[in-house]
Amino acid sequence: MATETSTKTIFELQALPYAFDALEPYIDAKTMEIHHDKHHAAYTNNLNAAVQGTVLEGRTIEEILSNISTQQVAVRNNGGGFYNHNFFWEIMTPGGARQPEGDLLKVINASFGSYQNFKEAFTKAALTRFGSGWAWLVKQGEGLVISSTPNQDNPLMDLADVKGTPVLGVDVWEHAYYLKYQNRRPDYLEAFFNVINWDEVAQRFKG
Ligand code: MN3
């Protein structure tokens, strides 16, 4: 019997909250389909395989990530991949506000000087992440900071350089953009700013 079919479902692959083609033309349908149905599914299956039969069964993903330095690398990589992609699908939307508003905008202005400064700093963090990883907007206390992480690490992990609550993140693995943008990560990032779900980001900031 294949390992995949004998793995218990502990963490469930959530359906995308919109159709594969909903983020066109910024993020293409084929990329979304492979990203969710293959990459995210694999992280989820591999996480389940890694935690089943261990003390981690029954813990939330947030609990596992907060203590990740004590875990084997398969839990770190696949637990991060599971959490990060659930997060990523939710902070994107085909409609909604084009820019942050209200209290969130006030905190962005207080933390970075302006929305434009924030956008430039976030983009720079995503562009300068060498190889595969993520860029993040992270809540620390009542303020916001920007960071980036390698591989599938994230700010919830106890071993992250910058720890806090992620409120916005962008996947800069090549699988997130290569079909449409090839090596042009800057074009992908510019496109990403057209599909950010600022209402969801504001909700996550409120906590
Ligand atoms: Mn990915």
Q: What is the pLDDT of residues 87-96, one digit of tens each?
A: 999 999 998 7
Distance 187 CA to ligand 1 centre (A): 17
Distance 107 CA to ligand 1 centre (A): 28
Distance 36 CA to ligand 1 centre (A): 8
Residue type, 92: M
Distance 86 CA to ligand 1 centre (A): 10
pLDDT score recorded for residue 134: 98
Helices (H), the chain: 3-6, 29-34, 41-51, 61-66, 73-90, 102-112, 115-128, 178-181, 185-192, 198-206
Distance 39 CA to ligand 1 centre (A): 6
Higher pLDDT, 179 or 95: 179
Q: Tell which residue, 179, 195, 134, 153, has the closest CA to residue 35.
A: 179
Residue type, 147: S
Distance 33 CA to ligand 1 centre (A): 11
Residue 1 — very low, low, confident or very high, per pLDDT cuts 50/70/90?
A: very low
pTM: 0.95
pLDDT score recorded for residue 6: 67
Distance 40 CA to ligand 1 centre (A): 7
Distance 144 CA to ligand 1 centre (A): 24
pLDDT mean over 176-201: 98
Whether residue 181 is predicted with pLDDT greater than 60 in this model: the reply is: yes
Distance 72 CA to ligand 1 centre (A): 21
Distance 106 CA to ligand 1 centre (A): 30
Please give the share of the chain, as a percent, with pLDDT higher than 90: 93
Distance 85 CA to ligand 1 centre (A): 6
pLDDT score recorded for residue 24: 97
CB 98 within 8 A of CB 177: no
Distance 202 CA to ligand 1 centre (A): 23
Q: From the centroid of its chain, how far is CA 11?
A: 17
pLDDT mean over 195-201: 97
Whether residue 4 is predicted with pLDDT greater than 60 in this model: the reply is: no
